[in-house]
Amino acid sequence: MLVTKKALAPILRAGERCAEQLDALQRQAKDAAQTVVERLQAVDQAIGRHDMAIEDMLESLEEWRSDAQAQSDRLQAACEAMNRRDEERAQRNESVLLSLVMRCHDALFALRRAAQASADWSRQLDLVEDSLLAERRLAGLEVLDRPGEPFSPDLYEAVSVIDLASPEDDLRIAEIYTCGYVYKGRVLRRAQAAVYQRKTDGKEDTRP
């Protein structure tokens, strides 16, 4: 059976239409691929800009952190210097105040020794010292000025020894020549004193 040209014409036209549609699909696919590429490039550029923005932000944050740390270090150093100055000022004030109190008490002690012959003067000076006792204790200042206390080389300097026959007052303070001071447990000055000491077997004990 022979196929005529007229019979093949529809088939050829259908093939041409398929070829045209295929070309159109290829062009659309190429255009779509180009669009995707362009969009990917745009996204990549946006990501690059975003990364640069993040880097700029991180650099700014690092600069801010460095500035803040430097300011904090300067502030801490200033506070430490201020604290040192305050502490040094407080120590100087404390030293001056202690020196003043010690000199005043030295004067009172000298007056009390000079006024031992006068009962009235002695009573008046005792009242003055008693009025200062509570403030001294509150401030942590102890005065070593009373006879009869046990001798301790940490607190007293034995400048003389008084013979003693009975053992009751052995190695006790007989007399205070110069009063001593203890401030908050720290010995500022030992008291100069005479110490009772009994003899043993006719020989003087040299313990102090």
Which range of 20-34, 118-132, 162-176 scores highest in mean pLDDT? It is: 162-176
In the sheet with 180-183, reading across from the earlier edge strand, the strands are 141-144, 180-183, 186-189
Give the rounded distance of the alpha carbon of 120 from its chain centre.
54
Torsion of CA 71, 73, 74, 79, to 10 degrees: 120
158 and 191 Cβ atoms separated by less than 8 Å: no
pLDDT(156) > 90: yes
Burial letters 23-47, b for 16+ CB under 10 A, else e: eeeeeeeeeeeeeeeeeeeeeeeee
pTM of the model: 0.49
What does the pLDDT read at residue 12? Answer: 65
Q: How confident is the model at residue 200 (pLDDT cuts 50, 70, 90)?
A: low
Q: Calculate ∠ Cα 201-198-202, nearest 5°.
A: 20
What does the pLDDT read at residue 194? Answer: 94
Q: How confident is the model at residue 167 (pLDDT cuts 50, 70, 90)?
A: confident
**Is 201 or 73 the better-scoring residue by pLDDT?**
73
What does the pLDDT read at residue 11? Answer: 65
What does the pLDDT read at residue 10? Answer: 67
Q: How confident is the model at residue 154 (pLDDT cuts 50, 70, 90)?
A: very high
Region 79-85 average pLDDT: 84
Q: Which residues pair with 176 in a beta bridge?
A: 193
What does the pLDDT read at residue 89? Answer: 79
Q: How confident is the model at residue 203 (pLDDT cuts 50, 70, 90)?
A: low
pLDDT(151) > 90: yes
187 and 180 Cβ atoms separated by less than 8 Å: yes
Q: How confident is the model at residue 180 (pLDDT cuts 50, 70, 90)?
A: very high
